[in-house]
Structure 1
Amino acid sequence: MTFEKMIQAMTPDVYASLKRAVELGKWPNGQTLSQEQRETSMRAVIAYEAANLPEEQRSGYIDRTKKDGSQHGKNPLEPQVLKILNEH
């Protein structure tokens, strides 16, 4: 099974269990996750969230909205325009 197919087949219960394991650093039975298991589980959690949850419910989401509805700062994913000035 490929990683993508595993994410598509993942149930909400499996997602919740993986997310909890990453948060605590151990499996439900108390066994510690190895670094590789933690990284793979984190990738699976992020991929599941991207495919199944709205942005504001995903891990690491930062609400940049002020009380007046405007945004704090710039969106880091927006491209920035650079101006190059030549002084001769």
Structure 2
Amino acid sequence: MNFEDAAKQLDPELYERFKKALELGKWPDGRTLTKEQKEICLQTVIVYEDAHDIPEKDRVGYVDTTKK
């Protein structure tokens, strides 16, 4: 199984943990994410969101450009 296949099959709870870790910059136990961990989490979340048709406004990194 390759990275993309694994990311697509990620458990929804783990997806939420990755999102929260990216948001806070740390794991639930308080350890700071390394640069490599941030990159892997972000790549995983992007692939998961695309595979599961998460609405654009709910995706990581979404910026509403219609508001001024």
TM-score range, shorter chain: 0.7 to 0.9
Report matched runs for 1:22-37 at 5 Å: 22-37=22-37
- Which consecutive residues of structure 2, in runs of 5 or more, have no partner in the other structure? none
- Name which structure has the greater RCO, CA cutoff 8 Å, separation 6+: 2
Largest Rg, 1 or 2: 1
The answer to whether the Cα contact below 8 Å between 2:8 and 2:47 also exists between their aligned partners in 1 is: no
SS of 1:28's partner is coil
TM-score using structure 2 length: 0.79
After TM superposition, give the deviation of residue 60 of structure 1 in Å.
2.6
Answer with 57-66 or 31-40: which moved more: 57-66
Deviation of the 1:62 alpha carbon: 3.6
TM-score by length of 1: 0.64
Aligned residues: 66
* C-alpha RMSD of the superposition: 1.7
Q: Which has the higher helix share?
A: 2
The percent of aligned pairs where both chains have the same amino acid is: 48
Structure 1 unaligned residues grouped into runs of 5+: 67-88
Letter of the structure 2 residue corresponding to residue 26 of structure 1: K
What SS does the corresponding residue of 2:19 show, helix, strand or coil? helix
